[in-house]
Amino acid sequence: MTGHEEITARLRYGPEPTADDTGHVADVCVIGSGASGAITAWALQRAGLDVVVIEQGPFVDPWVSYDDVETVAETAWIRQDSGVWEKTGNPWSTCNVGGGTVFYGGAVFRHRPVDFDAESRLGPSDLPLRWPWAVEEIYHYYDLVESALGVAGGGHDPSLPGDPAYPMRPVETTAEGAAIRSAARSLGLQPFPTPLAIASEPYHGRLPCAGERPCISNRCDRGAKGDAVTVFLDPARKAGLRLFAGLKAVRVLRRDATSVDGVECIRVDNGNRHVFRARHVIVAGNAVQSAALLLRSTDDLSPHGLGNGHDMVGRGLCFKMSGYLHGYRRTDGATAGAGRVAGPGPFSTAAITDYYTADDAPGGFGGLIIESQPEEALRLRPDEQIIRLECLVPDTPRADNRVTLGRGVDRFGLPDIVMDYSPHPRDRARLEYLQRRAEEILRVAGCELTWRDSSYFWMGSTHLHGTCRAGTDPLTSVTDPDGRVHGLTNLMVVDGSVMPYPGGVNPTLSIQALALRMAHQLLRREFGIEPEVSPTHPVGPE
């Protein structure tokens, strides 16, 4: 048995749908159980709707690693800088119940007001950059999601109009985070604790972080991290939500000229086909998978895919450009472990946004610099320290950067996914600008040696945006501001694909805030239900 086969054999998909499951017409079928799908299903189920969730990946136990999930995930075609095409791209955050939130570091930043109208700095682009939502409206949903996740944070973020009132104090600062903050302050910058969806104290049934393992390697077995399973899916399933893992959505089925009525799926471990019927279908795969699903959903009325009458599905693909910088320094031996939570976590305790907008940066935009702890604890002498920073820069949406379907097929006979992506030269310059600023911080921190490490963002990323863009003009967008696919009354997209501009911060919080807003709009519009809009606290693990 190969390593791939051994990992596949350990994965847990749960029971296969029965005839009763597929014969029942649900109020809503949600495709995808990651950041957006989980909060959408939770909000709708909480309002009394009959909701079924379809997820391609397995359930993830704490002993299943990120590498395990990545090893068995499907790949996509990408073009290397040399121009050579390879089927090595990553069209997932991660493919599992809870999606990438199970393995993310928990960094949950609000998008800055400038992200809502990037054209004010960058000028016109291939595609409209302005978000079709008001800053104040989305910031209200940030409050709701931060309360549900249990965000730990504090301090002054110079790129926000006001500092959020986070539910918990910041997690304890690592020794590396303390060195970063000290160096940044000496440069006249205003560093602050990274806002994390990680409990720094007991929070509504969840235990505080113990720092016993890296946040990005395995699912947190304490429930300290606010992943989509712990916060939304587990409570919703206890209350009656139906979730089926191991089901790949093949295509959305049309009912008539203006509506759909279900989803055709394949069970990934045996190839069995199932059809789920629902009054509303919500696509929440991710910016790559959702676009591919719409493109596969062809029929006589939509020969090029649902919502693709103007050839917009898949266009504007953004990965967010990023890169790592490492610094090596000698210490006096007394500070190497000071202030660190026992063990290798948490992922990040220091953030710098002073360069988010900068007149001397290409296009007037820089980005975010954050502490980024390595996946493994490093064995060093008491007088040694390794500091790692990550730089994030928003890539400009381009019409030719897109998701398409290839001529080859996968093991189920479905067309391969192609991620045709090339960053704008100005964005490469912006990343270089930000990395030089990060190198300066490391030098001031006393690092004798610094080096760079690629994130390989062009191969696919945990930051996936822009392929089913939201807007009011069907010529340049796929959905309206409420997530409804243009021309279809009951098909919605609610994941990161609706974002017209990616912004320069980790996107999970914004993806969930937008999805919650869209779920609330659906409740009001189609079911006459006024959703609860006060901060909510799903019940955590016992």
Residue 444 burial (10 A CB sphere; 0-12, 13-18, 19+): middle
d(CA 306, CA 291): 10
- 39 with 98: CB under 8 angstroms? no
Angle at alpha carbon of residue 184, lines to 178 and 185, rounded to 5°: 90
Give CA–CA dist 501/396, Å, rounded: 7
Q: Which of 274, 424, 463, 486 is catalytic?
A: 463
Cis? peptide before 394, omega within 30° of 0: no
User: Cα angle vertex 151, ends 147, 156, to 5°?
Assistant: 110
**What is the number of other CB atoms lying within 10 angstroms of the CB of residue 461?**
26
| Kind and range of the H or E run holding 268 | none
Query: Angle at Cα 92 formed by Cα 76 and Cα 456, nearest 5°?
Result: 75
Token pair 């110079």 is found at 158
73 burial level (CB within 10 Å; 0-12, 13-18, 19+): middle
Q: Coil, helix or strand for 10?
A: helix
Reported in sequence order, the residue ranges of 81-231 that DSSP labels E, i.e. its strands, are 85-89
Are 252 and 298 contacting, i.e. CB atoms less than 8 angstroms apart?
no
Does the active-site annotation cover 424?
no
Place of tokens 């008001």: 134
d(CA 170, CA 446): 25
∠ CA 58-63-66, rounded to 5° = 65
Residue 204, burial from CB neighbour count under 10 angstroms (0-12, 13-18, 19+): middle
Amino acid at 528: G
- Kindly list the catalytic residues: 463
